[in-house]
A = this chain, B = another copy of it.
Amino acid sequence: MKKLLVSIILLAMALTSPAASRQHPCLLLSKDSVKEMKAAVGSVPLFDTSLAEVTENADKALEREICLPEPVDGGGGYSHETHKLNYFDMYNCGIAWQITGRRAYADRVKAMLMAYADFYPGLGYHPLDLSPVPGRIFWQTLNESVWLLHAAQAYDCIYDTLSAKERRHLESKLFRPYAEFIMNGTPDNRANRRTFNNLNNHATWANAAVGMIAIVMGDDELLRKALYGFDESGEAGFMRQLDVLFSPDGYFTEGAYYQRYALWPFVIFAQCLNRNRPDLDIFGYRDGILLKAVDALLQMAYDGEFMHFNDALEKGYDAQELVYAVDIAYLADPSDKELLWVADTYQHKVVVSDAGFAVAKAIAAGETQPLKLRSCMLRDGADGSEGAFVILRSPREEENTALTFKATSHGLSHGHFDRLNFAYYDAGNEVVSDYGAARFLNIVAKYNGHYTHENNSYAKQTVAHNTLVVDGKSQFGAKMGKASKSHPAVTACSLGGDVQMVSAEETLAYEGVRMQRWIFLADVPFLQYPLVMDLLRATSSAAHTYDYPIHYNGHMIQLSVPYERALTGMEVMGESNGYQHLWVEAKADAAEGTTAYTWLTGHRMYSLSCATSADDDIYLTRLGASDPDFNLRSEPAFILRHEAPSGSHLFASCLETHGKYDIKVEQSANLDRSCTGVSVLQDSEDCIRVKYGFKDGRAVLLSVDLSSGEVKYNVEYE
Name the contact of A441 in the complex, choosing from B440, B441, B627, B666 (C-beta under 8 A). B666
Interchain CB contact under 8 A, B598 and A445: yes
Closest to A442 in B: B668
Q: How large is the interface on A (under 10, 10 to 19, 20 to 34, 35 or more residues)?
A: 35 or more
Assembled-state Cα–Cα distance A626/B81 (Å): 46
A580 is an interface residue with CB less than 8 A from chain B: yes
Interchain CB contact under 8 A, A583 and B598: no
A366 is an interface residue with CB less than 8 A from chain B: no
- Beyond A76-B668, A443-B600, whether A663 also contacts B568 by CB under 8 A is no
Complex contacts, A76 vs chain B, CB 8 Å: 668, 671
- Beyond A446-B557, A664-B320, whether A626 also contacts B567 by CB under 8 A is yes
Interchain CB contact under 8 A, A320 and B665: yes
A444 is an interface residue with CB less than 8 A from chain B: yes
A12 is an interface residue with CB less than 8 A from chain B: no
Name the contact of A555 in the complex, choosing from B314, B628, B630, B663 (C-beta under 8 A). B630
Interchain CB contact under 8 A, A442 and B572: no
- Beyond A442-B666, A444-B671, A585-B624, whether A572 also contacts B565 by CB under 8 A is no
Interchain CB contact under 8 A, B445 and A671: yes
Assembled-state Cα–Cα distance A646/B595 (Å): 57
Interchain CB contact under 8 A, B443 and A81: no
Complex contacts, A565 vs chain B, CB 8 Å: 627-630
Closest to A569 in B: B571
A683 is an interface residue with CB less than 8 A from chain B: no
- Beyond A315-B663, A630-B556, A634-B622, whether A672 also contacts B444 by CB under 8 A is yes
Question: Which residues, 203 to 239 on A, are CB-close (under 8 Å) to B?
Answer: none
Complex contacts, A666 vs chain B, CB 8 Å: 320, 441-442
Interchain CB contact under 8 A, A600 and B668: no
Complex contacts, A663 vs chain B, CB 8 Å: 313-315, 441
- Indicate with 1 or 0, residue by residue over A565-594, a CB within 8 angstroms of chain B CB atoms: 111111110000000100101100000000
Complex contacts, A444 vs chain B, CB 8 Å: 671-672
- Indicate with 1 or 0, residue by residue over A425-459, a CB within 8 angstroms of chain B CB atoms: 00000000000000011111110000000000000
Complex contacts, A620 vs chain B, CB 8 Å: 630
A171 is an interface residue with CB less than 8 A from chain B: no
User: Whole-angstrom distance from the CB of A448 to the nearest CB of chain B?
Assistant: 12
- Indicate with 1 or 0, residue by residue over A666-692, a CB within 8 angstroms of chain B CB atoms: 111101100000000000000000000
Closest to A571 in B: B569
Question: Which residues, 542 to 569 on A, are CB-close (under 8 Å) to B?
Answer: 555-558, 565-569
Name the contact of A84 in the complex, choosing from B81, B443, B569, B667 (C-beta under 8 A). B667
Interchain CB contact under 8 A, B667 and A81: yes
User: Whole-angstrom distance from the CB of A369 to the nearest CB of chain B?
Assistant: 23
- Indicate with 1 or 0, residue by residue over A611-630, a CB within 8 angstroms of chain B CB atoms: 00000000010101111111
Question: Which residues, 377 to 409 on A, are CB-close (under 8 Å) to B?
Answer: none
A633 is an interface residue with CB less than 8 A from chain B: yes
Assembled-state Cα–Cα distance A634/B313 (Å): 22
- Beyond A81-B668, A569-B571, A625-B568, whether A555 also contacts B633 by CB under 8 A is yes
A318 is an interface residue with CB less than 8 A from chain B: yes
A694 is an interface residue with CB less than 8 A from chain B: no
Complex A-B: 30 CB contacts under 8 Å? A76-B668, A76-B671, A81-B669, A88-B665, A315-B663, A318-B664, A320-B664, A320-B665, A442-B661, A442-B666, A442-B668, A443-B557, A443-B600, A443-B671, A444-B671, A445-B598, A445-B671, A446-B557, A555-B630, A557-B630, A565-B628, A565-B629, A567-B626, A567-B628, A568-B572, A570-B570, A586-B630, A620-B630, A622-B624, A634-B636
Sample of 17 more A-B contacts, CB < 8 Å, known A441-B663, A565-B629, A569-B570: A76-B668, A76-B671, A88-B665, A315-B663, A320-B666, A440-B557, A441-B666, A444-B672, A446-B557, A565-B630, A567-B626, A568-B571, A569-B572, A570-B570, A585-B630, A620-B630, A634-B634
